[in-house]
Each structure stands twice: as C-alpha cells, then as structure tokens.
Amino acid sequence: MKPSSRFAILAIAMLPVAAVADPQTPPIAQACAGCHGQSGAGMGAIPDIAGYDRDAFIQVWEEFRAGARFATIMTRIAPGYTDEEVAALADYFASLR
C-alpha cells in the first residue's frame, strides 16, 4: 500500500470522531470522550465522570499518577497532564451535574 493510501485511510477513519465532537466541550476534555463519552457519562465498564466531585476527581487523578490506582489507560495518561490541566478537567466534569 502506498503511503498516500495509508494517509487517506487514516483520515477517513478519524472523520467520525471529529464529526461527533461537542463544540461545548472544552478542548482539553475532548480527549476524555474516547472512553468516557462526550458528556462524561461513561460507556460500558468505563466509569461515569459527569458530575464527579471536583476534589475527588483530583485525588483519583493523583492516585493514577502515583501508581496507587491502576487502570489500563489512565495509569499511562495521567502523568502527562499538568496540575492546571487536571484542575480544569475536574472543574468541567464537576459542572456536568
């Protein structure tokens, strides 16, 4: 397969994700939508984070960062966010009550 064909397939595969992005969701929170859904309502075994208490959200995030709490994806994602980004996510998801 030619590189241009691979790029076209990748671009097409990404269209549904871009098409469902909620413009009301802050850009930083849109990364969470892949697992937790656009409204943070969770999907299947993925927990609901909409309306999650702000302080509890930050505490759980810190546990993921420290390796005190394990989750297949979150354990790897959490260390990549700054304290300010985590606070912004906590504020946003807490507001979805």
pLDDT per position as a tens digit, 9-60: 444 444 344 445 667 788 999 999 999 988 899 988 999 999 999 999 999 9
Topology classification of domain 24-94: Cytochrome Bc1 Complex; Chain D, domain 2 (1.10.760)
Per the structure block, which two tokens stand in for 8? 């076209």
pTM: 0.74
Taking CA atoms, 25 is separated from 28, 39, 69, 85, in Å, by 8, 8, 27, 14
C-beta neighbour count of 83 within 10 angstroms:
11
Contacts of 94 (CB under 8 A, 6+ apart): 51, 52, 53, 54, 57
Q: Which of 81, 69, 89 has its CA nearest to residue 25?
A: 89
Tell me, what's the pLDDT at 67? Answer: 94
